[in-house]
């Protein structure tokens, strides 16, 4: 079986549904390899930007560690960008996590928390300028499906999180495994991180 | 604004995450057009096949009507296929809903409930033979990303639900709208219902 990695999925009201559940489908198809934990500042329920509500497994206030930090985007980021508790938690945990990942505008939170200082990163193309304005210490890449810089994986908007997640599965378990996951999910995986027609459409 | 259509999303323990939240991302990007309701036999919480839990908005026992019925797949279908209450509810509501839709093995439930009698339909390719065994009154299509037969839309496995949902949005609101939704979600939409490389890979 090998080691199972824990994923800490950082949720908040107004998270984007597919940012979260696209990637969790991919990781979730390998239950012996990945242990999924939904987190939020407080226990209870969080409401997505699209309406459906999810149940939190653990509060961020518990002193649990996660191998993989996962930060989605969504309209709620516009509020959380001023949440000093959350930013502090991200800054601290990013130092001890094996991998740090974001989808869509989730990278704005990582940037504001200083996690992306001196790193290459990308984000949603419709919100690109707003995200970039959160930190001038990041090497923002406008045209990319996702960006890998060492142990940090950041993706473009919404659907791009699925491609990034398969790339992370490739890094950890090899490309044969991510190919199998994509077939199980009947997903037409974009394997090229530089494929990004949306950068041009949205600018 | 026009009329807002209500979507009744039929959940159960063991539903597949992306079957549900891929399509709900697409519909949810048009909140003035679609009103999303998570349903289950009982109120409370349902647990997905991958672990994350969702909060139910309304019990199936409430006498609410929905314009669009949406039935996902997942391992839980293997249990629900014997749930006479659920099958009866699907059979009854399918007669009054404007559209009936399924993703993945959700079509097994529709088939067992008699909703697909005399209709063309498809399903997950890994589970194809099991689904087909639930009803010999359906014209099962092995190679298809999704199938439209009148007001019934059934899709292949997991990711195919996103393509089917965009096709339904096209039917209701026009292709310009679904194109815009796909761009917002940075989703590389498969517009051809006959595109299905997975049928060959899985057989």
**Chain B residues within an 8 Å CB radius of A17:** 21, 24-25, 28
* Segment B161-185 mean pLDDT: 97
Q: Is B167 helix (H, G, I), strand (E, B) or coil?
A: helix
Distance CA B115, CA B71 (A): 12
Strand residues in A93-150 grouped as ranges (E): 99-102, 120-121, 139-140, 146-149
Both tokens assigned to A90: 């991200």
pLDDT for the residue B152: 98
pLDDT 10s digits, B60-119? 999 899 999 999 999 999 999 999 999 999 999 999 999 999 999 999 999 999 999 999
What is the DSSP code string of A69-81? EEE--STTHHHHT
Q: What is the dihedral of CA A91, A92, A93, A97, to 10 degrees?
A: 90
Query: Which one of B13, B43, B44, B52 would you mutate to disrupt binding with A, by most A Cβ within 10 Å of its Cβ?
Result: B52
pLDDT for the residue B63: 86
pLDDT for the residue A2: 60
**What distance in Å separates residue A115's CA from the closest CA in chain B?**
25
pLDDT for the residue A150: 97
pLDDT for the residue B20: 98
HSE value, Cβ hemisphere, 13 Å, CA-based, for B41: 10
Residue A24 to residue B50, Cβ atoms within 8 A: yes
Q: In order of start, what are the domains of chain B with their CATH numbers?
A: 5-202 (3.40.50.880)
Distance CA A81, CA B73 (A): 36
For residue B2, what pLDDT band results from cuts at 50, 70 and 90? low
Residue A197: pLDDT above 80? Answer: yes
Percent of chain A residues topping a pLDDT of 70: 99
pLDDT 10s digits, B141-165? 999 999 999 999 999 999 999 999 9
Tell me whether B124 touches chain A (CB under 8 Å).
yes
């Amino acid at each position: 079986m090998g080691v199972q990695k824990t994923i800490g999925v950082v949720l908040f009201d107004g998270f984007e549904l597919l940012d979260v559940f696209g990637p969790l489908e991919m990781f979730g198809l390998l239950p012996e390899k990945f242990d999924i934990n939904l987190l939020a500042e407080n226990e209870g329920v969080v409401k997505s930007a699209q309406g459906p509500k999810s149940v939190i497994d653990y509060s961020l206030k518990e002193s649990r560690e996660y191998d993989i930090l996962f930060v989605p985007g969504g309209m709620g980021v516009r509020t959380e960008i001023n949440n000093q508790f959350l930013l502090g938690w991200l800054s601290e945990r990013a130092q001890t996590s094996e991998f740090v990942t974001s989808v869509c505008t989730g990278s704005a939170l990582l940037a504001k928390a200083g996690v992306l200082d001196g790193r290459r990163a990308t984000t949603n193309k419709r919100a690109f300028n707003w995200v970039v304005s959160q930190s001038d210490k990041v090497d923002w890449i406008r045209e990319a499906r996702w960006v890998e810089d060492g142990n940090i994986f950041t993706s473009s908007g919404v659907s791009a999180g699925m491609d990034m997640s398969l790339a992370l599965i490739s890094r950890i378990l090899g490309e044969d495994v991510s190919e199998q996951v994509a077939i199980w999910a009947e997903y037409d995986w974009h394997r090229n991180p530089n494929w990004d027609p949306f950068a041009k459409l949205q600018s």
